[in-house]
Amino acid sequence: MRWQLAGDWPVGPVLIPTGTLLSGVAGPDGELVEAPKWNNGSIALPMPMPINAMALDQEAALQMCKWFDQDLWHRLIFHRSLDRDAIVAEARKRWPNGVPQTMSGPSIPKSDQRKEPDDGKVEAETKIEADAQEADAQAGRSQG
């Protein structure tokens, strides 16, 4: 199984940089039996991989589907040589009712998810827009 990081990955006190290639060992059933290591094998990496890790082969892509809830599969990144539809179909065939909770990887914690207010705008974007309008208003008062 092979992945390429599409963003920096903080692991303990180190930051694994974007673009890093990581390899794990798959068992005969396609399951990950040895997690990737970094820095010449001196750092064993925690699993699951971050959601923005690009799967470079079919086994890695299926493993990503297993780690993450089906509601997040649209965010998974597969190498362009992989047939996304075939991988998702295979994952749904293997886990028709979703991956059992004991095997499922973490989804995005509720506190990190963006909340949709009643008017349809995202709270974080609304706050940024409000801050920008306030800054514009203050700049106008100081100039005028």
Residues 118 and 48 occupy one common structural domain: no
Residues 94 and 120 occupy one common structural domain: no
Domain range enclosing 126? 114-144
pLDDT tens digits for 78-122? 999 999 999 999 999 988 776 655 444 444 444 444 444 444 444
Q: What was the pLDDT predicted at 140?
A: 61
Residues 81 and 43 occupy one common structural domain: yes
Residues 132 and 99 occupy one common structural domain: no
Residues 17 and 59 occupy one common structural domain: yes
Q: Which residue has the tokens 């100081």?
A: 142
Residues 98 and 123 occupy one common structural domain: no
Residues 24 and 56 occupy one common structural domain: yes
Q: How far apart are CA 82 and CA 31, in angstroms?
A: 18
pLDDT tens digits for 14-54? 899 999 999 999 888 778 888 898 888 888 899 999 999 99
Domain count, the chain: 2
Residues 86 and 119 occupy one common structural domain: no
Segment among 47-56, 63-72, 117-126, 131-140 with least mean pLDDT: 117-126
Q: What was the pLDDT predicted at 84?
A: 96
Phi-psi region of 10 (alpha: psi -120 to 50; beta: other; left: phi over 0): beta
